[in-house]
Amino acid sequence: MALPEIKTILYTTSLGKHTRPVFRQALNLAQNLNARIIMLHVIEPIGELGHALIQNYLPEETVKKMHDEGIDEVMKQMKSRIEKFCEEELGSLDKVVDLDIEHMIVEGNYTDSILKTAASCKADMIIMGSENTFGHHSQTTRQVIKGAKVPVVAVPTGKKYI
């Protein structure tokens, strides 16, 4: 039996301050396995009540424009975070690190969106944080581990570790 090949890593991020250790692990694994990274940020859609309230005050085209501008801004933030990481952490390395990163934003339920994206991108592994923004164990991570068809690496984010 052959060992499983890891060519695509789905790295999920909330874009919070605590996510850098997760990206370090994704990058380290990608470099060692010669894999590409898909950087995924999931945005939960606004609820029905919120959408109804917004529609009462703003024209639909204004809502769509605000939505699209918001998505563009998140994409810029994702790319900016990678650039900052490279400047701060990779600039002092002796070897050149080749980054093969695709940025992706998906709207929907966190768990469902992560699992669907992993399947559609044919990800061989998912890497995500094990704690949520508040430092508690992430329900999303537990649900992804439970539903995933590929290995899931859950990286501690709320603790100091090397």
How confident is the model over 11-36, as pLDDT tens digits? 999 888 778 889 989 998 998 899 99
Among 3.30.70.260, 3.30.70.1060, 3.40.50.620, 3.40.50.300, name the CATH number for the domain at 8-155: 3.40.50.620
Query: What is the pLDDT at residue 91?
Result: 64
What pLDDT sits at residue 61?
A: 84
pLDDT 10s digits, 132-160 = 665 667 889 999 999 999 999 999 886 55
Q: If you average pLDDT over each of 16-20, 68-72, 83-87, 111-115, which comes out highest? A: 111-115
Beta bridge partners of residue 103, listed in sequence order: 39
C-alpha distances out from residue 89 to 80, 81, 101, 141, 155, Å: 14, 12, 17, 26, 18
Sequence-ordered list of residues with C-beta below 8 angstroms from that of 136, at least 6 positions apart, any chain:
none
Question: Where are the domains positioned within the chain?
Answer: 8-155
Residue 151 to residues 44, 78, 112, 121, 125: CA-CA distances in angstroms? 24, 24, 16, 15, 5
pLDDT > 90? residue 125? yes
Q: Average pLDDT, whole number, for the chain?
A: 85
Q: What pLDDT is stored for residue 29 in this prediction? A: 92
Structure pTM?
0.83
Is-contact 128 154, C-beta < 8 A?
Answer: yes
Q: Which residue has the higher pLDDT, 126 or 45?
A: 126
Confidence (pLDDT) at 132: 64
pLDDT of residue 50: 72
Strand order of the β-sheet with 152-155 is 101-107, 36-43, 8-12, 125-129, 152-155
Where does 5-120 have alpha helices with state H?
20-33, 48-57, 60-85, 110-120
Residue 45 near residue 147 (C-beta atoms within 8 A): no
